[in-house]
């Protein structure tokens, strides 16, 4: 996400200074879901009087099942947008739509993007890199929400994976 935003000219700052606050959520485990809900509530309560603060909710939580969109709405009633991780390339245009006055936007992508093609630049001195090879799930386990949140298994283009590995190696 940061790579796409940096490449589009956006910079990161503190939450207090940020015009757009993107909260990347996870809800695979109940404990994590509870932490995310608490954080969403905390962010809303600390910023509810700021009219130029735009909250974008990303990640798994709002996509597990439709009721979670209402959960987000209850925690941050004035959210600007809910996106899934396949909307990453659309972030600059989503920002523009929000700047034009739109709010409570819900984006659900129709397809999966090949995230291996997004070359991640890590800070100097970092000794690990992330090279995604796939996303999603083959199973339909009754206890698991991954397939609902991330969709069916999508393997990334092998050439993009190789390019990403080379890119990571160049960074050390």
Given a cut of 80, whether residue 146 has pLDDT beyond it is: no
Calpha distance 98→146 (Å, rounded): 29
Does 90 lie in the same domain as 25? Answer: yes
Calpha distance 142→147 (Å, rounded): 10
- Tens of pLDDT, residue by residue over 71-111, are 888 888 888 999 887 788 888 899 999 999 999 988 877 76
Does 8 lie in the same domain as 28? Answer: yes
Calpha distance 53→116 (Å, rounded): 31
Domain span including residue 1: 1-111
Given a cut of 60, whether residue 124 has pLDDT beyond it is: no
Calpha distance 11→169 (Å, rounded): 25
Does 128 lie in the same domain as 98? Answer: no
Q: With bands split at pLDDT 50, 70 and 90, how would you rate the model's confidence at 60?
A: confident
The residue with greater pLDDT, 144 or 44, is 44
Residue tagged 């996400």 (tokens): 1
Averaged pLDDT score across all residues of the chain: 82
Given a cut of 90, whether residue 147 has pLDDT beyond it is: no
Q: Are 118 and 157 in contact (CB under 8 A)?
A: no
pLDDT at 116: 64
Given a cut of 80, whether residue 139 has pLDDT beyond it is: no
pLDDT at 94: 92
Q: What angle do CA 147, 2, 98 make, to 5 degrees?
A: 85
Helix or strand or coil: residue 114?
coil
Q: Are 118 and 168 in contact (CB under 8 A)?
A: no
Nearest to 56 by CA among 37, 83, 74, 33: 83
Given a cut of 80, whether residue 45 has pLDDT beyond it is: yes
Calpha distance 22→81 (Å, rounded): 9
The token duo for 83 is 């996106």
Q: What is the mean pLDDT of residues 46-69?
A: 83
Does 117 lie in the same domain as 92? Answer: no
pLDDT at 80: 92
Does 171 lie in the same domain as 161? Answer: yes
Q: What is the mean pLDDT of residues 48-53?
A: 80
Does 66 lie in the same domain as 21? Answer: yes
Given a cut of 70, whether residue 36 has pLDDT beyond it is: yes
């Amino acid at each position: 996400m940061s790579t796409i935003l940096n490449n589009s000219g956006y910079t990161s700052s503190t939450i207090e200074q940020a015009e757009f606050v993107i909260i990347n959520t996870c809800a695979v485990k109940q404990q994590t879901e509870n932490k995310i809900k608490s954080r969403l509530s905390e962010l809303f309560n600390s910023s509810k009087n700021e009219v130029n603060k735009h909250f974008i909710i990303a990640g798994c939580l709002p996509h597990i099942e439709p009721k979670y969109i209402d959960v987000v709405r209850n925690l941050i009633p004035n959210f600007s947008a809910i996106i899934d991780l396949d909307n990453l390339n659309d972030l600059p245009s989503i920002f523009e739509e929000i700047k034009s006055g739109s709010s409570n936007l819900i984006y659900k992508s129709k397809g999966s993007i090949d995230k291996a093609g997004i070359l991640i630049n890590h800070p100097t001195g970092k000794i690990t890199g992330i090279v995604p090879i796939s996303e999603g799930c083959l199973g339909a386990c009754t206890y698991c929400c991954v397939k609902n949140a991330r969709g069916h298994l999508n393997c990334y283009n092998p050439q993009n994976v190789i390019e990403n590995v080379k890119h990571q190696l160049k960074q050390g």
